[in-house]
Structure 1
């Protein structure tokens, strides 16, 4: 079980099971949402228990996704792809070690000029299909 929360603790969550390797998104929307690039793990919705859901504010950032943050402290917590059976949870919101490593970087064409990336992690200018998603 993995536990996490926002900065002020008004929103808390638990995730049952293992976490998938996270991806790091460098798109402009993720950079604006998080203040840097956004690193998240994709978790089946059924594995997440949320406390303080009334303190999560959702911003519809595109036709396909919304972003969730704490309405009290402003912590970026979720990336929610509508019509999917999973939700992205910000790695920085976990309270305990996750035993994961970033699996890939996406949307590098939008990467900020003020940081460099470690060598060896796969990089893409767009988003490749996620292994746990069907292409249908």
Structure 2
């Protein structure tokens, strides 16, 4: 737990989010759904369970059998990716909502085998293929289902 509270907002300011990061780090997802949703790579900060609060108009889209994506109902800014299992309290919150992305370093990229050739992040951090990432969360690779 980082103990740091982050407050951010969408592009138009209609939605404000407050959360404590689970860890002081950024994660990047290159899956096809995230790329289509954000127009590029989805860079996120995992919220510590129970700490995410939201004010403003939010719309959600169930993007798979086990996850949904939320965006501002006014401007469309991506807000978070959430697991829909009622036992899970997992929100991957868009780092772009926060000034300087919370000041955190990039520590992990997932779906690196799906990223376009021109998408490359410098530095020494964990890079997982789709199969490696899905295995790490106890799922099997059956197409791209995030």
Report the TM range for the smaller structure's normalisation: 0.7 to 0.9
Unaligned runs of 5+ in 1: none
CA RMSD of aligned residues (A): 1.9
Contact preservation (8 Å) 1:66, 1:81: yes
TM superposition score normalised by structure 2: 0.79
Q: Is the 8 A contact 2:25 2:104 kept in 1?
A: yes
Q: Secondary structure at the match of 1:47?
A: coil
Does residue 110 of structure 1 match 2:117? Answer: no
Give per-residue Cα distances to partners, 1:59-103, cap 9 Å, x unaligned.
111001000001111101110111211211000011365131111
Tell me the distance in 2 between the aligned counterparts of 1:4 and 1:41: 12
**Preserved CA contact (<8 Å) 1:69 1:78:** yes
Q: What TM-score, normalized to structure 1? A: 0.85
Change over 3 Å in CA distance of 1:96–1:51 after alignment to 2: farther
Q: Does 1:93 align with 2:97?
A: yes
| Paired position in structure 1 for 2:136 | 129
Q: Which residue of structure 1 aligns with residue 83 of structure 2?
A: 81
Please say which of residues 57-66 and 18-27 is displaced more in the overlay.
Answer: 18-27
- Alignment length, in residue pairs? 129
Q: Secondary structure at the match of 2:17?
A: strand
Runs of at least 5 residues in structure 2 that lack an aligned partner in the other structure: 139-146
Which gives a bigger RCO, structure 1 or 2 (Cα 8 Å, sep 6+)?
Answer: 1
Among 7, 11, 15, the residue aligned to 2:15: 11
